[in-house]
Amino acid sequence: MAARSDGRLGKWLVIGPPLAYLLVFFAAPALIMALASFRTPGEFGGLSPLLENGKIDLNLDSYARFFTDSIYAQIFLKSVWYALLTTLFCLLLAYPLATLIAKSGKRHRDLLLLLVILPFWSNFLIRVYAWMIILGPNAALARMVNGVLAWVGHEPVPLLFSSFAVLICLVYVHLPFMVLPLYANLEKHDQALLDAAQDLGANAWQRFWRITFPLSLPGVYAGAALVFIPALGIFAIPDILGGPEDSLIGNVIKQQFLETRDWPFGSVLSIVLTVAALAIAGFAAWVARGSLGTPSSAGEARA
């Protein structure tokens, strides 16, 4: 009996601190934000008092605003579109890279992995500012592009402060989050399966689409989630590299809290964003389960 209660105490000691942390720093703020979304903005920003003249002031005004003014839905859809494009380009770039790393020898593999995570050693904002220099009007890239454009008789285009700059930086920043889960998956693939497929008459193309790719889907889904969800809420990259048309939902939320100081509406946007991200992730997980047959298929690939 004593041993059993000891075990229970031990369990609480282990899960207690992280649980408390999550409750205080994640669940509580989320609830405060959910509550704030139903309140009225204060006269000078922030929130007006919850209790006024003995009445609790909770309303759906901010939600009504989101669903009636179509500009927010448009920005929201644009954010989803940018996040999808980012995910797609990351996948297209990361798949060959992850395959290369997984197939290279032990020594090269470690070096390549190091190169993939090397950007994390410098500050995120510094890396984004670096793109300002790379894409700047006087940099070699812009000159080269505009030189070619002038040669074919096209007007020069600015690379910086454009959707192009935002997308290229979104892909750059998120690429490692796609490469690492893909590599972790591909590295475990059993060469015997490909040998068997070849023996059974599959060519290189068929071996990829019928064997390698389906078995790598757990890695693809993990990478897509790690890229899509942060890309959906990003605000720094459009702020620094985008033009006025490139404002995304993250920028609008930031604006609501810091500039317009309409906290209830900012909370509404945040909640819609969170719910949308959860819904998309949930949908992806559901699709993943269906297409993989069983959740344990990935583990089986190792056997």
Q: Which residues bind other proteins (CB under 8 A)?
A: 190, 192-193, 195-197, 199-202, 206, 210-211, 214-215, 292-294, 296-297, 300-301, 303
CB of 220 to other proteins, least distance (A): 13
Beta carbon of residue 290, minimum distance to other proteins (angstroms, whole number): 12
Minimum gap (Å) between residue 201 Cβ and other proteins = 4
Q: Which is nearer to other proteins, 105 or 201 (CB)?
A: 201
Structure-block tokens of residue 44: 């000078």
- Whichever of 156 and 299 has its CB closer to other proteins, that residue is 299
Answer whether 256's CB lies under 8 Å from 265's CB: yes
Q: How far is CA 280 from the centre of its chain?
A: 12
CA distance 271 to 213: 35
Of 113 and 288, which CB lies nearer to other proteins in the complex structure?
288
Nearer to other proteins, 182 or 211 (CB): 211
Q: C-beta of 213: minimal distance to other proteins in Å?
A: 10
Closer CB to other proteins, 5 or 203, in the complex: 203
Letter string b/e over residues 73-104, b meaning 16 or more CB atoms within 10 A of that residue's CB: eebbebbbebbbbbbebbbeebbebbbebbee
Cβ–Cβ under 8 Å, residues 135 and 241:
yes
Q: How far is the CB of 85 from other proteins (least distance, A)?
A: 28
> By C-beta, is 2 or 200 nearer to other proteins?
200
The answer to whether 86 and 167 are in contact (CB under 8 A) is yes
Q: Is 282 helix (H, G, I), strand (E, B) or coil?
A: helix
- Rounded to the nearest 10 degrees, the angle between the axes of helix 124-135 and helix 140-151 is 40
- Least Å distance, CB 195 to other proteins, is 7
Amino acid letter, residue 287: V
Q: Please give the structure tokens belonging to residue 270.
A: 């945040």
Which residue matches tokens 């989050």? 177
